[in-house]
């Protein structure tokens, strides 16, 4: 009895993640996962190879290999993602999905979290994960993004080593200066608001004064017209009296 091994294409080939029609962020190191494909020939020395094509623009052109791969989309749009699973004889089966990519590509900030790639790499953060901007690795009360804006280290609670946490230190990069805010520092921080309030008060005072002066001028003009009218009536009475005397 002879058992003949006839090559068969792989089976149960599918893209597990992401799902059909899913929306992905641009250049976010997106994870693509394939199912565990099966092949009747695996027991006869056959091997399976997972190949991926992420745009399907000119037929199938594999761009990544593996059952789980990461891929970065550099422009927004609609993409047809194709997975092909080959066996050792060249037979294959495939699955494909359509995904939508949204966002803006910034080569200096892959995940668009406001922290440059170089800064994230310096402190061993993930350039593909925008959520790490909200994390507080050193527990000083400042998020990683706030640490970046202040120029402090996200890995050390007290960047300048003066004994005060960065979140409570008004000069977190200078250990020789006051570590806490003085009343003059607080006043300086409120100065722009005080200036705006003062300018608003001056503008309001000028507006009220202008309206009062305008109303006063109107009252003076009305009084002047009443005086002129009264004088005109007096002249008319004098003329009428003179006319009556002449008639008599």
Digit-coded pLDDT (tens) for 53-85 = 998 777 899 999 999 999 999 899 999 999 999
Span between the terminal Cα atoms of the chain, in Å: 162
Measured CA to CA, the distance from residue 8 to residue 87 in angstroms comes to 8
Cβ contact 65:86 at 8 Å: no
**Cα gap 237→244, rounded to integer Å:** 11
* Residue in the block written with tokens 């503008």: 203
Q: Which residues pair with 98 in a beta bridge?
A: 80
CB-CB contact of 52 with 32 (8 Å): yes
How far is residue 92's CA from residue 229's CA, in Å, rounded to a whole number?
Answer: 108
Query: Residue written as tokens 């004098």?
Result: 238
Q: Where are the domains of the chain?
A: 15-102, 117-168, 182-248
Angle at 130 between CA 129 and CA 134, to 5 degrees: 115
As a whole number, the mean pLDDT across the chain is 86
Q: Give the predicted TM-score (pTM) of the model.
A: 0.58
> In angstroms, rounded to a whole number, what is the distance separating the alpha carbons of residues 83 and 56?
10
SS3 153: coil
pLDDT tens readout for residues 211-240: 888 888 888 888 888 888 888 888 888 878
pLDDT category, 1, cuts 50, 70, 90?
very low
User: What pLDDT, on the 0 to 100 scale, is given for residue 2?
Assistant: 43
Q: According to the model, what pLDDT value does residue 184 have? A: 61
Structural contact between residues 43 and 4, judged by C-beta atoms closer than 8 angstroms: no
Residues 168-225: tens digit of each pLDDT: 888 888 887 754 555 565 566 667 888 888 888 998 898 898 888 888 888 888 888 8
pLDDT band at 102 (very low <50, low <70, confident <90, very high): very high
Would you say 138 and 155 are in contact if contact means Cβ atoms under 8 Å apart? yes
d(CA 10, CA 3): 20
Structural class in CATH, domain 15-102: mainly beta
pLDDT of 185 = 58
User: Does 18 sit behind a cis peptide bond, omega within 30 degrees of 0 on the bond before it?
Assistant: yes
């Amino acid at each position: 009895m002879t058992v003949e091994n006839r090559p068969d294409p792989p089976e149960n080939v599918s893209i597990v993640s992401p799902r059909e029609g899913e929306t992905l962020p641009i250049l976010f190191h997106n994870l693509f996962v394939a199912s565990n494909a099966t092949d009747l020939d695996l027991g006869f020395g056959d091997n399976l190879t997972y190949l991926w094509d992420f745009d399907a623009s000119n037929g199938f052109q594999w761009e990544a290999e593996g059952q789980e791969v990461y891929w970065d989309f550099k422009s927004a749009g609609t993409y047809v993602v194709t997975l092909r699973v080959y066996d050792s004889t060249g037979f294959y089966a495939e699955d494909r999905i359509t995904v939508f990519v949204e966002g803006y590509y910034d080569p200096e900030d892959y995940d668009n979290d406001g922290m440059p790639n170089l800064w994230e790499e310096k402190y061993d953060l993930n350039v593909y994960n925008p959520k790490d901007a909200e994390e507080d690795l050193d527990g000083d009360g400042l998020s990683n993004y706030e640490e970046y804006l202040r120029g402090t280290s996200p890995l050390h609670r007290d960047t300048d080593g003066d004994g005060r946490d960065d979140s409570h230190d008004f000069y977190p990069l200078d250990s020789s200066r006051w570590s806490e805010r003085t009343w003059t520092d607080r006043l300086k921080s409120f100065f722009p608001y005080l200036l705006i309030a003062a300018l608003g008060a001056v503008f309001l005072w000028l507006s009220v004064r202008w309206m009062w002066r305008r109303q006063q001028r109107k009252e003076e003009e009305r009084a002047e017209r009443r005086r002129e009218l009264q004088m005109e009536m007096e002249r008319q009475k004098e003329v009428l009296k003179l006319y009556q005397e002449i008639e008599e």
